[in-house]
Structure 1
Amino acid sequence: MDTSYWSTSRLLSTAARLNENRDNERLRSIGVTHSGVTILKVLASAGSMSQVKLAQIVRVQAQTVGKALERLEMRALVTRQKSESDRRVTFVALTPAGRTILDEVQQGEGVPLGGAGYAEEDLRAALISVINATRDNLLAPGPVPEPQLVASA
């Protein structure tokens, strides 16, 4: 397949999809997905929060998070509880079993994710730069400057 004529957007989305598919294959053995691990990481870092806030943090629709949470809740990796004061709000929390699975993934116990080495770190830094610049430029008036890509020595 000749990718030399693809737009940057198509290259990024294809790379993201392939990376997520690779990670999902590796995660299948412990019964979680790439999106599930992302949710577990957010909850481990930020603590219990509303489902809407969780969706905002991971930048997806609340319905999309809801489907992933159903799968995580069935495995007892998260809990969901309606707010007492507003029944429309659902709070999500990481369970001890969810923490254990997350620890296994993060320690790479039989489920290595992503690449390894400096090339992976350089790619991550470049992608973070592109994402931040694109997000910032969407909010800023005027011409759109090019993102600054950082290469390590």
Structure 2
Amino acid sequence: METSHWSTSRLLSTAARLNENRDNERLRSIGVTHSGVTILKVLATVGTMSQVKLARTVRVQAQTVGKALERLEARELVTRVKSDTDRRVTFVTLTDAGRLLLEEVQQGEHFTFGGEDFSEADLRAALVGVINAARDGLLASGASEQDLAATA
């Protein structure tokens, strides 16, 4: 694949697609999805939370997160418990098995560029820098925060 003449936008979108495909393949081999890993990461960071708040945090519909939680609960990666005071509220907790699986996923989050290894954190930091620089340039040229929010 000859990429030397590609625009930065095309390079970024191609890298994103290839990275997502690589991640999907790796996650499929251990039996989880991107949405499942996202949920596990949120619970590992925040702790127990209501299913509704979890859905808001990962920015999906409650029904969507419910389906993902069913799969995670079936594998005993999370537990769901109804509130004692309000049976409409369900609390979600990461299990020890969920923590172990998340550690396994995170150990595989390394990238090789030109023979050098970078952690996902390194790549994310570089991408955040690119995004912030592009955003700042657009704002300086007259774009509004609303215009930029619509593209995020």
Check whether the contact 1:19–1:114 (CA below 8 A) recurs between aligned residues.
no
Q: Compute the TM-score of the two structures, normalised by the length of structure 2.
A: 0.67
Please list every run of at least 4 consecutive aligned residues from structure 1 whose deviation after the TM superposition is greater than 6 angstroms: 10-14
Give 2:139's aligned residue: none
Structure 1 CA distance for aligned equivalents of residues 89 and 14 of structure 2? 35
What aligned pairs does 1:42-121 form with structure 2 within 5 A after superposition?
Answer: 42-106=42-106, 108=107, 112-113=108-109, 115-116=111-112, 117=117
Assess, with a 3 A threshold, how the Cα gap between structure 1 residues 48 and 17 changes in structure 2: closer, same or farther.
Answer: farther
Assess, with a 3 A threshold, how the Cα gap between structure 1 residues 61 and 127 changes in structure 2: closer, same or farther.
Answer: farther
Q: Compute the TM-score of the two structures, normalised by the length of structure 1.
A: 0.66
Which letter maps to 1:91? F
- Structure 2 stretches lacking a partner, 5+ long: 136-141
- Structure 1 stretches lacking a partner, 5+ long: 135-141, 148-153
Q: Highest CA radius of gyration, 1 or 2? A: 2
Count of aligned pairs between the two proteins:
133
1:125 deviates by: 3.0
Residues 37-67 of structure 1 deviation map (CA, whole Å, 9 limit, x = unaligned): 1111111111000111111221222222111
Structure with the largest fraction of helix: 2
Check whether the contact 1:78–1:95 (CA below 8 A) recurs between aligned residues.
yes
Structure 1 CA distance for aligned equivalents of residues 43 and 119 of structure 2? 28
Which letter maps to 2:124? R
Q: Could you say what the CA RMSD is over the residues aligned between the two structures, in angstroms?
A: 3.4
